[in-house]
Amino acid sequence: MIGKLTGRLDEVVDDGCILDVNGVGYLIACSQKTLSRLRSAPGAVKVLVETQVRQDAITLFGFATEEEREAFRALTEVKTIGPQKALIVLSDLHVGELAQAIATKDRKRMGGIKGIGPTTANRIVDEPAMQKWAVGRVVPDDSQGAVIAGVTAPEGVGADAVSALLNLGWKRPEAAAAVARAIKRLGEEAELGSVIRDSLRELAPR
C-alpha cells in the first residue's frame, strides 16, 4: 500500500491531480482544499495517501495533512458515504469546521454542502464514528469559531501572526493551531516574522 508520495505537481485534473514522482505520474483524488495547497507550494510537495483497492481498480486519495486524512477515514465509515462524498465534504469544510459541525450536530451546516443532502447530513452528524472522531478535536468558542482542543487563542505576537495567516486565506482554527505550535517551538519571545514563517512551513505541504 502507498502511504505517502513526494514529488512535483504535474497537472490538476477533475477532482484531483497528477503527481510526478521521479518521472512516474500518480493520479490522485484530492479535496479542493488540498489541491489549493498543492498549487501554492513551491517545488516538491508531500502528499499523504489513502489507497483503496478494488477488483477493477486501485485508487489513490491524497491529503495535505494527517488531520484531513483522519477525517476522510472517519467519513468513509458512515453508511452511504463513499470516498467521493467524503472529498466533497472536505472540499467545503476545513477539518476544524467539520469537527465543530459534528460536535455541535449542526445539521444545517452539513446539509448546506453542495452534493450532501439533509438525509446524508443527518447520517454524518449522528454516526458514532464521526462523534468519536470529533471528541477532543474542537471546543466551541463564540469569539474564535472552532478552536483546536488544548490550544488557547494566541495573544500579542501570536494574535498578529494569526491575523496575517487569515489574510493569506487560511481559516482561523488551523491558523491559530499552527501559530500556537510555532510559538511553543520558537519560544514566547519569538519575533512576528519568525512565527509567521514557521507557521507557514507547517501549514504548507512538503
User: Distance between CA atoms of 184 and 175, rounded to whole angstroms?
Assistant: 14
Rounded to the nearest 5°, which phi and psi values hold at 90? -75, -15
Q: How many CB atoms lie within 10 A of CB 117?
A: 11
Could you name the CATH architecture of 151-203?
A: Orthogonal Bundle (1.10)
The tens place of each residue's pLDDT in the chain, 206 residues long, gives 788 999 999 999 888 999 999 999 999 999 998 998 888 777 788 999 999 888 788 899 999 889 899 999 999 999 889 999 999 999 999 888 888 888 888 898 999 999 898 999 999 998 888 888 887 665 444 333 334 434 444 557 788 888 888 877 777 777 888 888 888 888 878 888 888 888 888 777 54
Q: How many CB atoms lie within 10 A of CB 35?
A: 20
Q: Tell me what pLDDT residue 141 has.
A: 42
Residue spans in the chain of domains classed CATH 1.10.8: 151-203
Residue spans in the chain of domains classed CATH 1.10.150.20: 66-140
Residue spans in the chain of domains classed CATH 2.40.50.140: 4-63
β-sheet bridge partners, residue 7 = 45
What pTM, to 2 d.p., does this model score? 0.66
Q: How many CB atoms lie within 10 A of CB 27?
A: 13
When computed from its CA atoms, the radius of gyration of the chain, rounded to whole angstroms, is: 18
The CA angle 49-50-51, to the nearest 5 degrees, is 110
CATH number of 4-63: 2.40.50.140
Q: Tell me what pLDDT residue 80 has.
A: 85
Q: How many CB atoms lie within 10 A of CB 206?
A: 12
Q: Which CATH superfamily is domain 66-140 in?
A: 5' to 3' exonuclease, C-terminal subdomain (1.10.150.20)
CA of residue 77 relative to chain centroid, distance: 18
Contact in structure between 165 and 175 (CB atoms under 8 Å): yes
Q: Tell me what pLDDT residue 50 has.
A: 94
Q: Tell me what pLDDT residue 164 has.
A: 80
Q: Which three cell numbers stand for residue 31?
A: 479535496
